[in-house]
Structure 1
Amino acid sequence: MRQNPSFALTDVAELRRLIDLNPWVTLVSDTDDGLVASHYAVLLDDGRDDLTIVGHVGRPDDAIHGLGERELLVVVQGPHGYISPGWYGDVPSVPTWNFVSAHLAGVPDILTPEENLAVLDRLVARFEAPMPAPRMMWERPNDAAFIEKLERGTVGFRLTPTRVTAKRKLSQNRPDDVVETIIAGLSGEGPHANAALAAEMRRSQDARAAARIAMEDAR
């Protein structure tokens, strides 16, 4: 991903928020047979406060990726969407795409069966908890034999990235009135309505406004 200093995302808390809200990621490896990619859900490691993530792949994806033997690239994709040049006003402009994304790269550690079970349990709890009648991993009709068979069919991993490239391109280079017009366009009912991206831009815009006020008060 080509980086632009104006859009660089380096704040660890914001990166953790991005990962937490967008757990469905793409795993990419450069193998002897060429590039391979898989898609899985990951979680932040609950025992750390950095960007370490935990997850699993189903067999034989571990062998296909050479999991634990080579660098793994994890692509995290946040809100994104089309931005019409019509939202910029009567000035020369072209369409663009706003987005938030991060690339985490490193050689993952393979989890023990016990650690993998704990991660699988957390994954189920994370997404099942909001259900009207949650059914957790260890609840009936699942039994121990079923869960153990499930674990043997997966390989868990923990990745502490050694390289991070993250970008938050949310029209920060545009005047406030243009940003407000874009947010309004994304919040409407048009063909490119995108409530999630509008909310992310609103959050960014409010943070920028608060930072400006803080700077003025400090003078």
Structure 2
Amino acid sequence: MHPNSAFRPRQDDLAELLVREIGFAAIFASTPDGPRVAHAPVVLSDDRTTLQFHLARGNALTRHLRGANALAVVQGPDAYVSASWYADADQVPTWNYVAIEMEGVVRKLEAAELVAQLDTLSDQHEARVGANPPWTRDKMNPALFSKMTGAIVGFEMRIAAWRPTIKLSQNKSAEERARVIEGVEATGHGALAQLMRHLGGDKAGA
């Protein structure tokens, strides 16, 4: 989390919204072999208290996650901010970014819970794709589906702490933010520019 409180969203639902929209996280944990990270699609529970994910059974982190205190990080768009974009000459370059950290203890899911997670994931993302009809596991040979799910392991993190950082130049004036948005967009970072337009002012800052 960035130490400047201006970059912490004050709406309780903003970090949740970003986790649901992005839907992909890096999962970090300490292991006897040192710190490890895995990358996985995630499912946030309706009450935002748990985060589910699954990893390949052969992933080096899989055998160490059960009962571990882990960190999940969902990252949004980011971009370099040139100091030359500011009207004030006494500025330095920086980086604007979105990062949502969630920490908690992890448990391994039972087989039925893993299948439910996979169903939820496909339902959510097939709806976004707009496929008609959407893909479901009913289209697969059940034996093959069972074999493939046997190659992955499901987990659930009980979220004990949320640490979001929404760094979108909220500590700058509206005029300076407008210049940064223009510069970010001109350098090909349209998604970040859009976030800055919608979230970079009073809405995202404390």
TM over 0.5: yes
Q: Are positions 1:194 and 2:189 aligned together?
A: yes
Distance 1:2 1:199, change over 3 A: closer
CA–CA distance in 1 between the matches of 2:169 and 2:81?
Answer: 9
Q: 1:180 aligns with which of 157, 178, 181?
A: 178
CA contact (8 A) 1:82 1:97 kept: yes
Q: Post-superposition shift, 1:160?
A: 2.1
Q: Post-superposition shift, 1:118?
A: 1.0
1:161 aligned residue: 159
Greater length-normalized contact order (CA 8 Å, ≥ 6 residues apart): 2
CA–CA distance in 1 between the matches of 2:63 and 2:11?
Answer: 29
1:15 aligned residue: 15
CA–CA distance in 2 between the matches of 1:62 and 1:11?
Answer: 36
CA contact (8 A) 1:16 1:51 kept: no
- Listed as ranges, the matches of 1:118-129 within 5 Å are 118-129=116-127
The alignment partner of 2:137 has SS state of coil
Q: Which has the higher strand share?
A: 2
Distance 1:64 1:44, change over 3 A: closer
The alignment partner of 1:124 has SS state of helix
Distance 1:207 1:92, change over 3 A: closer
Runs (5+) with no aligned partner, structure 1: 212-219
Distance 1:186 1:134, change over 3 A: farther
The alignment partner of 1:50 has SS state of coil
Runs (5+) with no aligned partner, structure 2: none
Q: Are positions 1:30 and 2:30 aligned together?
A: yes
Q: Post-superposition shift, 1:143?
A: 1.2
State the structure with more CA Rg: 1
TM-score, length of structure 2 as denominator length:
0.88
Which letter maps to 2:137?
Answer: W
Q: Post-superposition shift, 1:163?
A: 2.3
- Listed as ranges, the matches of 1:61-100 within 5 Å are 61=59, 64=62, 66-100=64-98
CA contact (8 A) 2:55 2:62 kept: no
2:57 aligned residue: 59
Which letter maps to 2:121?
Answer: L
Q: Post-superposition shift, 1:125?
A: 2.6
Deviations 1:14-54 (A, max 9, x none): 11111012112111111111011111110112xx3224211
CA–CA distance in 2 between the matches of 1:146 and 1:94?
Answer: 56
Which letter maps to 1:16?
Answer: E
The alignment partner of 1:91 has SS state of coil
Q: Post-superposition shift, 1:132?
A: 4.4
Which letter maps to 1:85?
Answer: A
CA–CA distance in 2 between the matches of 1:152 and 1:123?
Answer: 17
CA–CA distance in 2 between the matches of 1:36 and 1:159?
Answer: 16
CA–CA distance in 2 between the matches of 1:77 and 1:153?
Answer: 27
CA contact (8 A) 1:29 1:65 kept: no
